[in-house]
Structure 1
Amino acid sequence: MEVDDFEAKTNHFLSWLAFQGVVLSPKMALVDLRSSGRGRGVVATGDFESDELIFSVPRSAVLNLNTVFFGSSSVSDLEFKIRNLASWLALTAIILDESRRQDSKWAPYLAILPRQLHNLTFWSDAELSELQASKVVSKIGKSGAEEFFSRSLAPLGLTDYNIEECHKVASIIMSYAFDIPEENTTVDEKSGDEGEELVSDDEEDEKILLSMIPLADMLNADADRNNARLCCGNKDFEMRSIKNIAAGEEIFNDYGQLPRSDLLRRYGYVSETYALYDVAEIITQEMLSLFMSKEAFQGLNLSPLSQGQLDSRVELAEREGIFDDSYDLSHPGPERPSIPDELLALLYLVLLDDQSLKALYDSDGLPSRSKLATEVVGQVLVTVIQLREKEYATSLEEDETLLSTGNLPHRIAMAVQVRLGEKAVLRAAIKEATTFTGSNKRMRLGGKNNLVGEGKGKRSIEEPTGPKKKGRFR
């Protein structure tokens, strides 16, 4: 029986892992999941108890700057240039260089990395247009990455250098790489819970190293079925079970609470199990510009703000630590509302009459959420969110009909799922906003404005003594 190339590469990789000192539990297997629309995955062939070792990878088998250049007696010109690049560019350069070396230690590993990617970087303009008004399109950063490639990688003199391959490698890094602590920067894993730190991909630690961890990156992710985590020590990285895993179950290492838009952008797929984490983004400047218009809030008896009045309110929002370039609406849950406190507070400040705004300058912080959620704030939010929903070319109901047909091209179907999820969030936020019943006593209704902060006579905000904490809600 002929063994296909996919299986041959898997077997070669498994042999390479053993040679590199990777220890595999006899109760796990690396399997072919192409029949379910995926590549490879790790499956339990026997029962695992919670906190049982699934596999361990020594640091010497992790692909990063230190392991590639380990043992060199002197720093080559290439190494010097690469070490001075940003971490993701340095790892991109390393993988490009190693993939061209016939004697590369990493060849069996590089051979099983995906060749076809569905990250948004590789979508055509027509495919991207199917995302409609989703703000994820503005986060792709393809042209910016190409500038980095041309400025930083081209001078390295890599053989057969081309932009398309750089995009592929950089996207693989974004999808597969981990930020790991440098050796000797973590507590020994034998000293208790503090030593078994979950490997981070948040780049919050000072001494971290962007790395590819063979086999650890073969685990798929599922928000509902996460059953393993990667722990690090000074010598090895261990994938351990976090709950009992029965024989036949797939082993998952979750990405965290990512919306499907980010799943698609970073990893090239979507999953219904992540629908709970979908968000819809409100761009602050787009929203604030509505308050200078006479037409935006017709029927609410709101007079438009001058630029000076708007600036005064933004200044106070910045002082209170609640101003941001954008705000994410989300599905409401036990621990969070659909509309974030910071957005609610910003709208409250914008809608305050000028006398109340002046009083708030010298106050001890913002009111509680229940007082921020005035009836008119809710009405304004409904208008803002409805306008946001109208930016999409199709309705939520039309998208549901499209998906129900089941015959959409793969990328189009994923785009529809993303935009449908965002519209569902917008509907949930509208529903929440309609429940606001707080008093409108301090709101600038019926032309109630005293023009504080108007024009050149704008009142400056005096900073109170002592530091201010972000979101100082009473």
Structure 2
Amino acid sequence: MKVKMDAFGEATTKFLQWLNEVGLVKISPKVSVEDRRKVNEGRCVVTTDNVQAKEILFEIPRGSILNVATSKLGETYPEIGKVLLEEMGHWEGLVLCLLYEMNALKEKSRWWDYFSILPERGCLQTLIYWPDEELELLRPSLIVDRVGKNDAREMFDRIKGYVTEFSGEFAEEIGGFTWEDFLYVASVIMSYSFDVENAITEDKELVEENQSSNVKNDGYMKSMIPLADTLNSDTKKCNANLTYDIENLKMSATAEIQKGAQVYNIYGDHPNAELLRRYGYVEWDGSKYDFAELPLSLILQKITQYFNVDAELIEALLDIMKERRQFFDLFEGEEVIVSSYDCYRDAQLPLEGVLLIQILCLFLQKSNAKTIKGLEREKELFMIAQKSIELLKSSRVTKKCLKLWEICVEARLSNYPTHAFREVCPDHESYCDIENLRQLMVDRVLQSEVESLQDCLFALDLDFRSVDDSTAFDSIQKRKRVQKKQKMVKKVKKQN
């Protein structure tokens, strides 16, 4: 009996045929494309035999990837092609190329059978598609502030300006340019594109440092890579890697892969929150790179309350550390004062945040902390910063710094709802209900951040030895006496 294949299967079959006949992709007989929709993984690549490390899984000619150099747009309209390479940004250029290939050329596009396996409109789960009320479920994660809807609108307006400028036949061919068109294409690029290094040839000109950033000069092109983007990503299971040479892109195994196992790539060192924002999924057992953010504003609020000082004094101290060159040199160019500090799932502490707390703790315990001003304030703050760095380098912090660290992390944990402290266990039916799936992904993101904060809560106490704050002050005073004595000796020598 002949079983009728569904549209999903038919699209997969045509795509595989395209890879072989049009894309000229060399695919190892040890891999195949499978349907994993039942577990919300869509199409994926699996092994049909044991694979050894460094074995090539497939090889794609550079001419078969889609970017501003290979798209028919630049060839059909050379004047637009010049703008794509020399004026437009990587994102804007690829958006226009995809629009032209999908909306103007359609079945005539070389990549049409590839487009048929990309997600349909309405199926993408990236955060830019979420309504505001659903985004608010992600609070208190700071990822909500980085969804980028305003930035997307600005990019849409820029591209629309180019479309209007080009006008004529091109504008007619793509059938207008709507926000919905842009949102879909930009989301596909966000989820599936790669930054591919340009092929190096003997006659390639060296790019001068003063040349402007554009597709022509930057040494890479944002590209769509058929089949490579079919691999799912997993931060813990990654077992393949994409490499380049002059003519081809090669996906190779980075470890032994058993028969029947899935081949995984990695999209970057992203926590679950960022995976959801960019790609519309989460890792249910947590990302290897999960972290939670400890906002500077919360740290300053707790320090202000703990020492009962005015916020203006704290801000003045921060301004000194940000603006004075001696602090830049002392911190060796590292940014100690940032908007938030990353607390990682593996208890990897944000040492810049700990250093800031240590500096402020010591300064605000000074008896004249509220009255000292001007150059004397700068000198005192600098000596305390020096001592604070010495403490951290020797794996020590003062007891008040340790206490304040725990106060800040506990305050951050209190921002999260109670369900963020429970394990998320989705079942297969959950994947079919978008609202339920989104709620589960929200819960998993929040759980990932809670786990990260919990790991870091007592990490400072475990990894660092605490000392009395008075001991640190005694050390600073001793250094002052030594410096004063050295100055007097120099003065006497100069007089003699």
TM-score (norm 2): 0.76
Displacement of 1:273: 4.1
2:358·2:388 contact (CA, 8 Å) conserved in 1? Answer: no
User: C-alpha deviations, 1:82-136, integer Å up to 9, x for none?
Assistant: 3322101111111111101131111111111111111111112221121120001
Name 1:193's counterpart in structure 2.
none
Distance change (3 Å), C-alpha of 1:288 and 1:26: same
**Larger CA Rg, structure 1 vs 2:** 2
2:140·2:415 contact (CA, 8 Å) conserved in 1? Answer: yes
| Aligned counterpart for 1:28 among listed residues 19, 28, 31 | 31
Mean CA deviation greater in 149-158 or 172-181:
149-158
Counterparts of 2:356 and 2:282 in 1: how far apart (Å)?
Answer: 33
Displacement of 1:283: 2.2
Name 1:281's counterpart in structure 2.
293
- 2:239 matched to 1:227? yes
Counterparts of 1:262 and 1:34 in 2: how far apart (Å)?
Answer: 22
Displacement of 1:360: 4.7
2:235·2:288 contact (CA, 8 Å) conserved in 1? Answer: no
Question: What SS does the corresponding residue of 1:373 show, helix, strand or coil?
Answer: strand
User: C-alpha deviations, 1:285-306, integer Å up to 9, x for none?
Assistant: 4433444x3xx22xxx564561
Instruction: Flag the structure with higher helix content.
Output: 2
1:345·1:372 contact (CA, 8 Å) conserved in 2? Answer: no
Counterparts of 1:362 and 1:331 in 2: how far apart (Å)?
Answer: 29
Distance change (3 Å), C-alpha of 1:246 and 1:310: closer
Which amino acid is the alignment partner of residue 119 of structure 2? Answer: P
| Aligned counterpart for 1:10 among listed residues 9, 12, 37 | 12
List alignment gaps of at least 5 residues for structure 1.
187-202, 449-474
Which amino acid is the alignment partner of residue 338 of structure 1? Answer: Q
Question: What SS does the corresponding residue of 1:368 show, helix, strand or coil?
Answer: helix
Counterparts of 1:12 and 1:246 in 2: how far apart (Å)?
Answer: 27
Distance change (3 Å), C-alpha of 1:364 and 1:8: closer
Name 2:109's counterpart in structure 1.
104
Displacement of 1:267: 1.0
User: C-alpha deviations, 1:228-284, integer Å up to 9, x for none?
Assistant: 111110000111112222221111112243211111111111113444421111222
Which amino acid is the alignment partner of residue 438 of structure 1? Answer: V
Displacement of 1:170: 1.1
Distance change (3 Å), C-alpha of 1:142 and 1:71: closer
Counterparts of 2:345 and 2:295 in 1: how far apart (Å)?
Answer: 18
Which amino acid is the alignment partner of residue 18 of structure 2? Answer: W
Mean CA deviation greater in 345-354 or 364-373:
364-373
Distance change (3 Å), C-alpha of 1:431 and 1:396: farther
Displacement of 1:312: 2.8
Residue correspondence of structure 1 range 46-85 to structure 2 within 5 A: 46-69=49-72, 72=75, 76-83=78-85, 84-85=87-88
Which amino acid is the alignment partner of residue 271 of structure 1? Answer: E
Distance change (3 Å), C-alpha of 1:275 and 1:14: closer
Residue correspondence of structure 1 range 126-141 to structure 2 within 5 A: 126-141=133-148
Displacement of 1:368: 3.3
Mean CA deviation greater in 269-278 or 126-135:
269-278
Name 1:245's counterpart in structure 2.
257
Name 1:197's counterpart in structure 2.
none
Counterparts of 1:344 and 1:361 in 2: how far apart (Å)?
Answer: 12
- 2:365 matched to 1:341? no
Displacement of 1:218: 0.2
Counterparts of 2:26 and 2:274 in 1: how far apart (Å)?
Answer: 33
Name 1:471's counterpart in structure 2.
none
Name 1:169's counterpart in structure 2.
185
Distance change (3 Å), C-alpha of 1:289 and 1:63: same
Name 1:387's counterpart in structure 2.
411
Which amino acid is the alignment partner of residue 316 of structure 2? Answer: G
1:223·1:273 contact (CA, 8 Å) conserved in 2? Answer: no
2:362·2:469 contact (CA, 8 Å) conserved in 1? Answer: no
Displacement of 1:342: 1.2
Mean CA deviation greater in 422-431 or 133-142:
422-431
Counterparts of 2:296 and 2:447 in 1: how far apart (Å)?
Answer: 22
Residue correspondence of structure 1 range 299-338 to structure 2 within 5 A: 303-304=309-310, 306=313, 307-315=315-323, 318-319=328-329, 320=331, 321=334, 322-332=336-346, 337-338=347-348
Name 1:144's counterpart in structure 2.
151
Question: What SS does the corresponding residue of 2:413 show, helix, strand or coil?
Answer: helix
1:348·1:372 contact (CA, 8 Å) conserved in 2? Answer: no
Displacement of 1:443: 6.6
2:73·2:80 contact (CA, 8 Å) conserved in 1? Answer: no
List alignment gaps of at least 5 residues for structure 2.
164-170, 203-214, 367-378, 477-496
- 2:470 matched to 1:441? yes
Name 1:184's counterpart in structure 2.
200
Aligned residues: 417
Counterparts of 2:252 and 2:392 in 1: how far apart (Å)?
Answer: 43
1:403·1:416 contact (CA, 8 Å) conserved in 2? Answer: no
User: C-alpha deviations, 1:204-246, integer Å up to 9, x for none?
Assistant: x941111111000000112232221111100001111122222
1:352·1:442 contact (CA, 8 Å) conserved in 2? Answer: no
Once superposed, what is the RMSD of the aligned Cα atoms?
3.1
1:280·1:422 contact (CA, 8 Å) conserved in 2? Answer: yes
Counterparts of 1:362 and 1:290 in 2: how far apart (Å)?
Answer: 23
Counterparts of 1:410 and 1:263 in 2: how far apart (Å)?
Answer: 15
Question: What SS does the corresponding residue of 1:93 show, helix, strand or coil?
Answer: helix
Which amino acid is the alignment partner of residue 184 of structure 1? Answer: I
User: C-alpha deviations, 1:54-77, integer Å up to 9, x for none?
Assistant: 1100001010111115993x8534
1:302·1:444 contact (CA, 8 Å) conserved in 2? Answer: no
Counterparts of 2:31 and 2:49 in 1: how far apart (Å)?
Answer: 7
TM-score (norm 1): 0.80
Counterparts of 1:313 and 1:224 in 2: how far apart (Å)?
Answer: 39
